[in-house]
Amino acid sequence: MVLPSFTSTAPSVHFTYPPSSLLKYSPSSNPGALSPPVSDFTLARPFNINPELYNNALHISVPLTIAIIYATTVVYVNGVNKRRNYKPWSFSNTFAFYAFVVSHNIFLAIYSGWTFVGMLNAIRKSWPGIDGQYGLAGAADTLCKMHGPRGVGSAATYNASSSRWGFTDRAMKLAEGSPDTTDVGRIWNEGLAFYGWLFYLSKFYEVIDTAIILAKGKKSSNLQTFHHTGAMLCMWAGIRYMSPPIWMFTFINSGLHTLMYTYYTLSALTIQVPRAMKRTLTSLQIAQIIFGGSYALAHLFVSYDIPIEMPYLYAHNLSTALPSTASTISSAVSSAFTSAATAGIGNWLKKVALRAAGEEGLAENVRNYQGETFGIDAIHAADVEKAQQEIRYRMGTQRVHCLDTSGEVFAILLNLIYLAPLAILFIRYFSRSYLNRVNKSDGPKPSKQENFKASSKDATNEMEREIQEAMSGKQGGTTEPPPETKAKIEKAKSDAKQGASDLNDKVQKNAKDTSAKIQKAANDMGNRAKDVAGDYPEKAKNAANDMSAKAQKAGKDVKEFVNDDLKALQEKMRKMGGEGAKSSKSALNFKGKDDDKSDSKSRSRSPVKHSEPKEEEDKADVDVNEEDDKPETDGMAQSYEVVPDEPKTEEMKKAEEDMQPKQE
């Protein structure tokens, strides 16, 4: 709903009182509920809902009739059970009844979980966060406006005054007068229309919980009856009038029911459930009541700003002005004739005379007795004024209320009435505890703050007890299977436990055997490695000793061999040294001085060894002895072996004689 406020500041959230036009005892029937969009068949949406069926199920007669029949039946059967001294009905002890209760709990646990996941996905797709461009205003727009495309100021809203849907954004148009089912980004099309409608129908099915209690011969409490009746009507109002807080009820309640019916299933199967789970369920139910009621109530007092294009009048030059419309010209002409009738003959003559003199500007300024222009000048002035004005738009913000229709407000108030008995119960417990503490005669009296805190704690504990009793009596306590079935279940559990124990023993035995085998193999490998490691050092030591002895012997042999060769070489060089000198002297008789030097060098550096006749050796000994007084050769000569000349043959001697120059 649009509130009369325009600003140019950034969008923000405000506290406001609900408009009086929304507070109606009988809500308007418009608009009708919008059916969910058609989608492909998936696990999330395994079927589509016919629009006619969708709206027929939301007719007020459906939940009202079922609620009346349910409450009347409960009151009647409670009386019958009382007359029967609350004795269980015979069929409640059969296996068929037990199987039905277990199947009922399993179905509701699975269905509630499926609804919770579907709503979680719808919230994820539509939630913009509070750190976006518009901050809290963007989050408020998402939670308050459930139709149209995503974006602040882009929502489709219903105008109760004109009884039609519309957009605040001028660029958007409606298809066939209602929001398009293909729009994405708002929680209604993203999942609330589908899952919320099915969750509304599930409230009719949940009355089977009360039927189970009555079949066990027990009494259904007034709180139990009121709970189921109120849940039917609250879900109907929320979906029928598309009230924004209904998504929270669907989301939280489906998640809580998932846990609760899982608990009932485990209890029916005689599976021990930790007490902590039961206390957790109680705390979650109290939190749902407090948080859900507060959240719904807050919608009545929330408004926020949205960006909007605000119109303003823009005046510009005549050359760029828009042409005036025919209606404007018509009104200007009628005004001109009216002013002309009061102009008088004198003003007319004056205007004509000025124009005849060429004074057009003065003629236009001639006025009648009322000070207005008249005649053709009045028409021209109206045209000019209209042509110099244009309507333009600039961005600003407009404040809107979170709720748009009286039906949305009605659904919220009905939800608060539904929670009222629990609130009254809490107030009663609180008041009783507070007064008892104030009026006690013994001991010091606590302060008001301490008394308030302690009384609130006492009231909360009493509420937890009430809710625990209600939850325990939801299906008349734990559903016990028939004796035969219970015995089979206990036997199956015992067999399973024994089988698990045997399996555990077998696994442990196999583990021990395997561990022993691994240990034995490790020991064998260790011993083997130890043996091998013990032989290797001894063998290596013996091999090292052998190699050392062989190396020493080889070194000794090499040393002896080298020494022998060295001695022989020294002896041979000593002998060959004298023979070389003798050969050099004989060579002088056949060669010139220069040739003798070169041949002597080449021969003295030749590494070739030659054997000589024995006579030559004896002769060399004599020559050496004769030349003992000659100085020895220098150190450089000692590094070369002196090789004696080979004995010359007759052919060689003859060739040398032929090569010698002949003397004349």
Alpha-carbon gap, residue 173 to 171, rounded angstroms:
7
In this structure, what are the phi and psi dihedrals at residue 13, rounded to the nearest 5 degrees? -105, 140
Q: What is the pLDDT of residue 509?
A: 83
Residue 51 or residue 647, greater confidence: 51
pLDDT category, 84, cuts 50, 70, 90?
very high
Task: Determine the Cα–Cα distance for residues 574 and 552; give it in Å rounded to an integer.
Answer: 33
> pLDDT grade, residue 592 (50/70/90)?
very low
User: Mean pLDDT throughout 454-470?
Assistant: 70
User: What DSSP designation does 38 have?
Assistant: P
Identify the bridge partners of residue 395 per DSSP, sorted by sequence position.
309
Least confident of 14-18, 24-28, 339-343, 426-430: 339-343
pLDDT band (50, 70, 90) for residue 278:
confident
Which residues, other chains included, contact 344 with Cβ-Cβ below 8 Å and sequence gap of 6+?
A: 368, 369
Residue 151 has what pLDDT?
85
Cα(125)–Cα(120) distance, rounded to whole angstroms?
9
CA distance 384 to 315: 11
| Distances, alpha carbon 53 to alpha carbons 67, 195, 239, 283, 574, in Å | 20, 15, 14, 38, 138
How much of the chain exceeds pLDDT 90, in percent? 27
pLDDT-wise least confident of 17-31, 59-73, 202-216, 597-611: 597-611
Contact 263, 281 (CB under 8 A): yes
- Note the pLDDT tens digit of each residue in 421-458: 777 777 777 777 777 766 765 666 667 677 777 777 77
> pLDDT exceeding 70 applies to what percent of the chain?
67
Q: Distance between CA 569 and CA 494 in Å, rounded?
A: 108
| Tokens encoding 225 | 């009856």
**What is the pTM assigned to this prediction?**
0.63
- Per-residue model confidence (pLDDT) at position 257: 94
Residue 381 scores a pLDDT above 60: yes
Paired sense of beta strands 13-15 and 156-159, if any: unpaired
pLDDT for the residue numbered 616: 43
Is the pLDDT assigned to residue 318 strictly greater than 60? no
**Which comes out higher in pLDDT, residue 558 or 401?**
401
Mean pLDDT of the chain: 76
Q: Which of 33-47, 65-79, 265-279, 330-344 has the lowest mean pLDDT?
A: 330-344
Residue 322 has pLDDT above 60, yes or no: no
pLDDT for 614-626, tens place per residue?
444 444 443 434 4
CB atoms < 10 A from the CB of 95, how many? Answer: 12
